[in-house]
Structure 1
Amino acid sequence: MKILLPIDGSQLSLEAVRFAIRLAREGLQTSFVLANVQEPATLYEVMLAHDAEVLERVKGAAGEHLLQGAEALLAEAGIEYEREVLSGDPAHALVDIIERFECDAVVMGARGLGALSGALVGSVSQALMRASPVPVTIVRPHAAPEAEADETEAETPSS
């Protein structure tokens, strides 16, 4: 099985990598594809840089940098992976990667937006869930220990 791990540099995307590593440690025979998709250059960026090739190199270097945390986690776990940095619409580029690398599934971090914000703005995870030809697993953030303790105290009847 080959799993795509979209990485945006956030802690949520690294949490998804940790989840995928846990799956592999629990016996899932898998390899991974780390991917970062850089948004296309804006007109302002093109006007400022005057050179589309320079912008592509800068965005490519930024994508490579964002993959480093995930690469370190996978290397530490001794798990095989491939990598890809693209530019374009994130959901469409990720579908291209799924098809090109023949991925069987996607594991990615949740954006963490509320329902209304997600509906208005949209998110890569929502768009990919609609467009993906393979199953997509969304890894939600863990609740902070203080929040869990507060919830437990709130549920416990006081004497």
Structure 2
Amino acid sequence: MKFLIPVDGSVLSLEAVRHVLKLAHAGLQTELLLANVQEPASLYEMVVAHDPDVIDEVSEGAAMHVLAPAVSLVETAGVSFEAVVARGDPGHALIELIERHACDAVVMGAHGKGMVRQALLGSVTMEMLHGAPVPVTLVKPSEDTALDSDFETEELAEDGPN
């Protein structure tokens, strides 16, 4: 079974990777498509960079940096995977990846926010739930992950601008 796992650098996207790795260790034949979507360059970035190749290199580097922890987890587990970088609107790009790579399902981290709030924000999660042509599994944060996220939020608040 081929799983698309969107990786955005959050602790929750790594929870989704761990979830699929548990399925693999339980005996499910799995193949992973780890995907990071980079938004298109802004007009300012295009004007300042002058060279579209520079923008592409920076975007690719940023994506590989975001994907690195997930790749490390999967390599350590010995599960077959491919890491890809897509560009554009995240929801549309992920749906295109599902079709292009013949994925059987999507597993992604969920922030655990209310459905109304997510719908109003136009989240990628909601777009995937409604638009993906395959089943979508949302992995909620574990208690440890929730505590880690709270700690990170507190650290950011303390380290913020003075």
* TM-score bucket of the superposed structures, by smaller chain: 0.7 to 0.9
- Distance in 2 of aligned mates of 1:118 and 1:75: 32
Instruction: Please report how far the alpha carbon of residue 48 of structure 1 lies from its aligned counterpart in structure 2 after TM superposition.
Output: 2.3
Aligned residue for 2:75?
A: 75
* Runs of 4 or more consecutive aligned structure 1 residues displaced over 4 Å after TM superposition: 144-147
1:42 to 2:19 alignment: no
Counterpart CA distance in 2 for 1:145 and 1:36 is 21
Aligned positions of 1:89-128 closer than 5 A:
89-128=89-128
Identity of aligned residues (%): 52
Amino acid at match of 1:42: S
Instruction: Work out the CA distance in 1 between the residues paired with 2:144 and 2:42.
Output: 37
Q: CA deviation at 1:54?
A: 1.1
Say which one has the larger Rg: 1
Q: CA RMSD in A?
A: 1.8
TM-score using structure 2 length: 0.84
What is the TM-score when the length of structure 1 is the normalising length? 0.85
TM alignment of 1:109-148, pairs within 5 A: 109-144=109-144
Distance 1:113 1:54 in 2: 37
Residues 113 and 43 (structure 1), Cα distance of their counterparts in 2 relative to 1, 3 Å cut:
farther
- Mark the runs of 5 or more structure 2 residues left unpaired by the alignment: 148-162
- Structure 1 residue 126: deviation in Å? 0.9
Q: How many residues align?
A: 147
Q: 1:117/1:145 Cα in 2 relative to 1: closer, same or farther (>3 Å)?
A: closer
* Structure 1 portions without partners, runs of 5+: 148-159
